Amino acid sequence: MELVALAAEAYVYGYPLVRDLSVVEGAMYTGFGPLPPTPFNHFAHADRPVPADTPFVSVGDDTVRSVAHLDLSGGPVLLHVPGPDGVHPDGAYRVLQFVDAWTNNFAYVGHRATAVRAGDWLVVPPGWAGRVPDGLLGVIDAPTSVVTVIGRGACDAGGDGPERGRAFQEQLTVTYVEPGTHRTGLPAPDPDVPEALRFFEQLRVWMADFPPSAPDQAYQDRFQPLGLLEEGPSPYVRADAALVRALTEGPALGRARVEEAGRGDAERGGWVMEPHLFDYNLDHFGVGTIASPQWRIADREASYRTRAVAARSALWGVHGYEAVYAHTLCDAGGERLNGARSYVLRFEGRPPAGAGWSLAVYDMAGYGPAGRRIGENPAGRGPVYAQDGSLTVRVQRERPDGPVAAANWLPVPDGEFRAVLQLRAPGAGILDGTYEFPAVERVR
């Protein structure tokens, strides 16, 4: 039983790496959601908001627009970021999020963290000691030789928002700095390993090619009895019965631990949010990150559980200081939201979000109705507030009468749905729990 318990521990620890790289591999060959198949070191762009059942969206995200998987095995790359001139002159929210192979958010470039101006960022692999070209905006040190860059840009459903978004996308480019051989795919697990042991074979191969931080590598030493640290031919092709039992029974225990840890959602007035779900990064703090204790899980072993929960439910989500997503399935009376009914939400003032906010509804399959949202960007485009600063949002199927009510109308799908409130660069009231989210009141 000790070997089974160790395998469960290894599953929790290694699940984020396997989950991340499996999605990266799938993105290269089949794509996902509205993003087409795309090789390493190229951006894939979505021409519409990404639905909530896409692997890297947990509760509905109206901003994910572009994704690039960078391979740095052949040397650093230049990432060109467009500036505001002629691209988003209205100050629309933009951010590039950098995620390593272990799902650590290790850098942010964009509206909250850095000045938005055109130029190049040098993304360098671990241990690189070459010459930094002149005239760069900065250097981003990648913890692993494969990283994912997620470009998020708030886009209005109407007006010229989509056109501005496409202009921004077209100017996002990746170029090589040095001649070198880059990967065209990920290191391949041994095809002769039985399917039941494939997870641990992937973990063994990818742990060797994408080593974590030094403290995590020290933690990995305990997995030696499982064969995870062996190099060369796979130990799982002809594993003995005791090891096979451990590697087949352990993942079930590990999954149960992750599911149990994921049930700790904090509820505030019917709304659920997790501003500290991505605080498991303890070792890599680059451009735009915050390394203060408030944003770091104190217990390293506890951070592994949180990391697995995030990889399972919200892969590639952002730190709470970049954005939070509050969602609710029920109205103020505790009944499930349903398109057969009408609702009203009253905001007493603008939500405390320095880079804008949006409210959307999604059916239970994850897709929003016609892409319409209520919200605003820093430029001030958005709904109509009352003279006292309040905002009343009508959530119903039929378009309401009157220009103000129609401007503040959020259409809903048939059947049950969920409401999602996205707050970009949230204020202290959101993060400390003192902000009172608006109740979803049913109109009788």
d(CA 321, CA 425): 6
Do the beta carbons of residue 406 and residue 400 sit within 8 Å? yes
The tens digit of pLDDT for each residue in 160-212 reads: 455 555 666 778 899 998 887 888 899 999 999 999 999 999 999 999 999 99
Residue range 6-22: average pLDDT? 98
End-to-end CA distance of the chain: 58
Bridge partners for 150 per DSSP: 67, 97
Query: Directed axis angle between helix 2-29 and helix 300-313, to 10°?
Result: 40
3-state secondary structure of 271: strand
The pLDDT value given to residue 166 = 64
Residue range 271-294: average pLDDT? 95
d(CA 116, CA 73): 29
* Backbone region of residue 107 per phi and psi (left: phi > 0; alpha: psi in -120 to 50; beta: other values): beta
**Highest mean pLDDT out of 55-69, 212-226, 359-373:** 212-226
Task: Inform me whether the pLDDT recorded for 158 exceeds 50.
Answer: no
d(CA 404, CA 401): 8
The pLDDT value given to residue 123 = 97
The pLDDT value given to residue 59 = 41
Quick one: what percent of the chain has pLDDT higher than 70? 86
Residue range 35-62: average pLDDT? 68
Task: Inform me whether the pLDDT recorded for 51 exceeds 70.
Answer: no
pLDDT-derived band at 57 (thresholds 50, 70, 90) equals very low
The tens digit of pLDDT for each residue in 399-428 reads: 999 999 999 999 999 899 999 999 999 999
Cα→Cα distances 347→34, 385, 436, Å: 33, 9, 9
Bridge partners for 98 per DSSP: 107, 149
* Residue 117 or residue 280, greater confidence: 280
The pLDDT value given to residue 88 = 42
Task: Inform me whether the pLDDT recorded for 322 exceeds 90.
Answer: yes
Question: To the nearest 5 percent, what fractions of the chain are helix, strand and coil?
Answer: 25, 25, 50
Count of residues making up the chain:
444
pLDDT-derived band at 159 (thresholds 50, 70, 90) equals very low
The pLDDT value given to residue 60 = 45
Instruction: Select from 324, 325, 312, 329 the least CA-distant residue to 425.
Output: 324
The pLDDT value given to residue 1 = 62
| Mean pLDDT, rounded, of the chain | 87
d(CA 148, CA 150): 6
User: What residue ranges do the domains of the chain occupy?
Assistant: 1-317, 329-444
d(CA 100, CA 79): 16
* Residue 161 or residue 128, greater confidence: 128
* Residue 103 or residue 382, greater confidence: 103
Residue range 438-444: average pLDDT? 93
pTM for this entry = 0.90
Q: 329-444 in CATH: which number?
A: 2.60.120.1600
Task: Inform me whether the pLDDT recorded for 12 exceeds 60.
Answer: yes
List, edge to edge, every strand of the sheet that includes 146-153: 43-45, 64-71, 146-153, 94-100, 105-110
The tens digit of pLDDT for each residue in 239-262 reads: 999 999 999 999 999 999 999 988
